[in-house]
Amino acid sequence: MTKAELVEAIRAEAEIGKGQAEAAVEAFLATVTKCLKKGEKLTLTGFGTFGVSNRKARMGRNPQTGEAIKIKAAKIPKFTAGKSLKEAVGGKKK
């Protein structure tokens, strides 16, 4: 699903105008981005949690030359699916 398809799906589901749906999607994305930039978690109960993970510096290899290279430490966004989302997609139920 593309961003345009998401906007259309939200427009149809919420029965709102395309402009309103697009603004809602943009606001959601901006809010998640701001939250993660601050290093905070964003939890949507039942859906999942957006967070930031710290990846340590490590050694790697250039696949073309086989030469050893240093890979810098980095902060990366991550998403952990919640129980309800896992079950809805077909995950195991306990």
- Counting the structural domains of the chain, the total is 1
Residue 63: Cβ within 10 Å count = 7
Indicate whether 16 belongs to any domain.
Answer: yes
Q: Is residue 19 part of a domain?
A: yes
Kindly report the pTM of this predicted structure.
0.77
In a domain, 2, yes or no: yes
User: Would residue 33 count as lying in a domain?
Assistant: yes
- Report H helices in the chain: 3-14, 18-37, 83-89
Query: Does 94 have pLDDT greater than 70?
Result: no
> Would you say residue 13 lies in a domain?
yes
Give the 3-state DSSP-derived string for 33-84, with helices as H, strands as E and coil as C.
HHHHHCCCCEEECCCEEEEEEEECCEEEECCCCCCEEEECCEEEEEEEECHH
Tens digits of per-residue pLDDT, 34-91?
999 999 999 999 999 999 999 999 999 999 999 999 999 999 999 999 999 999 998 6
Domain boundaries, position 16: 1-38
